Amino acid sequence: ADAPLVADAAAPAATGQVPAAAEVAEIRDRILEKLKHSVSKSVGSATPHDWFIATALSVRDKIVESWLTSIDTAKKTGRKRVYYLSLEFLIGRLLIDALTNMELIDQTRAALAELGVDLEALREVEPDAALGNGGLGRLAACFMESMATLSIAAYGYGIRYDHGLFRQRIKDGRQLEYPEDWLSYGNPWEFQRPELVYGVGFSGHIETQTLPDGELKQVWMPGETVQALAYDTPIAGWRGAHINTLRLWAARAADPLRLDKFNSGDHVGALMDQVRAESISKVLYPGDTSPAGQELRLRQEYFFASASLQDLVRRHMSLFGDIKTLADKAAIQLNDTHPAIAVAELMHILVDRYDIPWNKSWAITKATFSYTNHTLLPEALETWPVPLMERLLPRHMQIIYLINALHLEKVGKGPDASGARLAALSLIDESHGRRVRMGHLAFLGSHKVNGVSALHSDLMKTTVFRDLESVEPGKITNKTNGITFRRWLKEANPSLTSLLTEVVGDTLLDDATILEKVAPYADDSAFTERYAAIRRANKVALSALVRDRIGVKLDPDALFDVHIKRIHEYKRQILNILETVAIFEEIRAQSFREWIPRVKIFAGKAAASYTTAKLIIQLANDVGKVVNSDPTVRGLLKVVFLPNYNVSLAERIIPAADLSEQISTAGMEASGTGNMKFALNGALTIGTLDGANVEILEKVGAPNIFIFGLTADQVEAKRTQGISGQEAIARSQRLSEALESIASGVFSPEQPDRYRPLVDALTYNDFFLVTADFDSYYNTQRDVFKRWRDKKSWWRSAVINTSNMGWFSSDRTITEYAQEIWNVPTTPPGRN
């Protein structure tokens, strides 16, 4: 909290525009007013954090003015609303984002400078809101920003975790997890809404009541009720024209204190209910693929689904007064299956609370919901044990059984209704204990289901959802992911953004497709030199960060080869490490050759329980330790693992990357979004034909991307022949030597057999086909070297990458959702 604060009042703003003096003075006065009356500090005693809060509160005031107008307009016009239900919103920092979108950044920087405060220093004191694990959570954050930018009346619903994704430290090469504490200094962006409290029931029993007309009615009597409290964060769209709400729920006990127990001396027991209730919003679920199988996770899912539906149904009733019009006025998007219990919850509300007949209720439900799938990995598809569901959500289990019975009755009439087909179509998986398939529930309860890249959406139809697709053909659609250019271009790389707007004009962030106009400049050496100089400056800045954080000195003229994402076997960090080791051995053996100086940059977190992923982190660190201190390498190769990867770190690394590693086993990465961020900022991709890489290839053209390895079809075929790596290893001397040096302890002399398990797995059980793709990857890396030597050609490709990335704006993605799934209008920014 004691970053340098001194700023030069005369320094020009990064965008080069000189803000009007009167506006600067007004902003300065507002910040001073906040510092005094809201933070209660004087200029002389204010810490960077105090200045951050004062600045955030001053921009928040501006946001709130538009916010109230946006809410009012939606009310008056009776607009259909979009509800984005997600257990994760990986937001990162908001100060620069809010200032950028409110178009106040230059004025605020100047105002702070007049006070002797550096905006960049304030940027660094804001904690990351890390309420997500990875791509899925970050996508939700990009979508929130694009929905606001396009003036869609949207709400994000999620959980206000006390602790987001764990903080990663690396000790002796190993990952250690520490609780993350983003709220410890308070959160200037949120508004608590004490008046918005909903009770969420769990467990208990069901009573059958007979209505006057003789009909039977099921009444759920929960055994436990937890309260959901609303916290709202305004999400400003580009140019501040429209502001949406991110509403996050915190859990509280209905009775905060059992006074009887407390008075009788049981001080801890008196707080038991509170601890049990609050544990629901205590911490983000840290696994990014394997199901927890844990009661707490199911409690989280139902808690936020129920609170969100109660809230949106209340809003609908107060505005429109008729629950039967819900689907005309509300579109609910399920971000993966994590909120899928909402399908049963809406049925419960419609049937039990509003007495709408079952069939009508089901029609409303289907018309209201839609579902996005983010993975086909079988171990990642959520299922819940029936006994757990029966105990925690008895009425919902009944409803799911009824949905299933009617569904199977319908499909059971078809000519091809074999037992195997019905088993595959059933909401209940009976193959290993009885479990509820949440993907099936989300699919059946929705009118549209989408994958997140063209390849992934196609694979959905032939794998996990093959049978369901045959029952409702055409239901599966594709919506290739996108990223918000406000954050991933302008905020992360302001210098590049200025250069680009010089060429295409300052509507770049209104309509990213105009980036195409940059293409001709790929052959303009004056332009490419400036483009390359910006990259170099970004690399110098990253080098300083690396030196500060891990004490390794980098050469900014080396090729920065970057692999940053969650650590997972299917993402194949180990393939990259193997190539690193192979090159290390070659440099040592052939020091006379002309090598290309290269820096391998890794960052990413492993789920705490994922032993193999944690071993891969250790290997990357161990390899770095040996390589970076080997004198024969002479700085030609550096390997760094940057701890605690998060959104803010990504914003620093991506603009400094030359090469983007997107090397998952084909068919396993649903889309990827990091790939888009890199290519936009001009890194060339080395990648497999997986996820959105396929579409990046289409846009940038084969000469401007390095594609290698087996295709998804070839992966499938290969696996049927067996997944032993022995043959591939025998065929490749390089690979066998690299594996041998890892296995024999070259990088772990203090424990030579440390990596034996990794090497054995690759040798005998190489499910992710690392060995099969190794030679292809190695050779393609040599193509990268060749291109790097030809700098003209390299920068030409980089510019072509940038100029073709407009399509990957999340504004495009959201426009497609709006038109083809939600049926809501969009207003492009600048046209409000």
The contact set with ligand BZD (CB under 6 A) reads 133-136, 139, 285, 287-289, 374-375, 380, 452, 481, 669-673, 691
Interatomic CA distance for residues 442 and 459, integer angstroms: 18
Annotated catalytic residue within 440, 475, 568, 571: 571
Of 66 and 480, nearer to ligand BZD (C-beta) is 480
Of 356 and 692, nearer to ligand BZD (C-beta) is 692
- Contact (Cβ atoms closer than 8 angstroms) between residue 297 and residue 188: no
Of 136 and 574, nearer to ligand BZD (C-beta) is 136
Of 580 and 671, nearer to ligand BZD (C-beta) is 671
Annotated catalytic residue within 673, 688, 771, 826: 673
Least Å from the CB of residue 500 to ligand BZD: 25
Of 240 and 691, nearer to ligand BZD (C-beta) is 691
Least Å from the CB of residue 534 to ligand BZD: 27
CB atoms under 10 Å from CB of 595, counted, come to 16
Least Å from the CB of residue 451 to ligand BZD: 9
DSSP annotation string for 625-636: HHHHT-GGGTTS
Of 134 and 188, nearer to ligand BZD (C-beta) is 134
Tell me which residue has its CB nearest to ligand BZD.
Answer: 135
Return the structure tokens found at 688.
């497999």
Residue 210 a catalytic site member = no
Least Å from the CB of residue 111 to ligand BZD: 38
Residue 108 a catalytic site member = no
Residue 565 a catalytic site member = yes
Helices marked H in 590-646: 611-628
Least Å from the CB of residue 229 to ligand BZD: 24
Residue 718 identity (one-letter amino acid): K
CB atoms under 10 Å from CB of 171, counted, come to 9
Say which residues have a Cβ less than 8 Å from residue 76's Cβ, sequence separation at least 6: none
Of 123 and 338, nearer to ligand BZD (C-beta) is 338
Of 164 and 672, nearer to ligand BZD (C-beta) is 672
Least Å from the CB of residue 375 to ligand BZD: 6
Least Å from the CB of residue 289 to ligand BZD: 6
Interatomic CA distance for residues 482 and 127, integer angstroms: 25
DSSP annotation string for 250-275: EEEESSS--HHHHHTT-TTGGGHHHH
Residue 652 a catalytic site member = no
Least Å from the CB of residue 823 to ligand BZD: 22
Least Å from the CB of residue 762 to ligand BZD: 22
User: Residue 416: exposed, middle, or buried by beta-carbon count in 10 A (0-12, 13-18, 19+)?
Assistant: exposed
Of 133 and 618, nearer to ligand BZD (C-beta) is 133
- Contact (Cβ atoms closer than 8 angstroms) between residue 347 and residue 365: yes
How many degrees, rounded to 5, is the angle at CA 347 between CA 346 and CA 349?
60
CB atoms under 10 Å from CB of 215, counted, come to 10
Least Å from the CB of residue 595 to ligand BZD: 34
DSSP annotation string for 280-346: GGTB----SSS----HHHHHHHHHHHHHHHHHHHHHHHHHH--GGGHHHHEEEEEESSTTTHHHHHH
Residue 374 a catalytic site member = yes
Q: What is the DSSP letter of 645?
A: -
What is the distance, to the nearest Å, from the Cα of residue 334 to the centroid of all Cα atoms in its chain? 15
Of 368 and 450, nearer to ligand BZD (C-beta) is 450
Backbone dihedral angles phi then psi of residue 431, each to the nearest 5 degrees = -80, -25
Annotated catalytic residue within 242, 677, 754, 787: 677
The number of C-alpha atoms within 13 Å of 283 and in the hemisphere containing its C-beta is 13
User: Residue 556: exposed, middle, or buried by beta-carbon count in 10 A (0-12, 13-18, 19+)?
Assistant: middle
Interatomic CA distance for residues 72 and 292, integer angstroms: 41
Burial 475-493 (b: 16+ CB within 10 A, else e): bbbbbbbbbbbbbbbbbbb
What is the distance, to the nearest Å, from the Cα of residue 55 to the centroid of all Cα atoms in its chain? 27
Return the structure tokens found at 90.
């990986």
Interatomic CA distance for residues 68 and 145, integer angstroms: 17
Q: How far is CA 731 from CA 208, 560, 576, 771, in A?
A: 69, 30, 19, 10
Of 478 and 673, nearer to ligand BZD (C-beta) is 673
Strand partners, 384: 436
Annotated catalytic residue within 297, 479, 539, 565: 565
Least Å from the CB of residue 287 to ligand BZD: 6
- Catalytic annotation, residues: 374, 565-566, 571, 673, 677
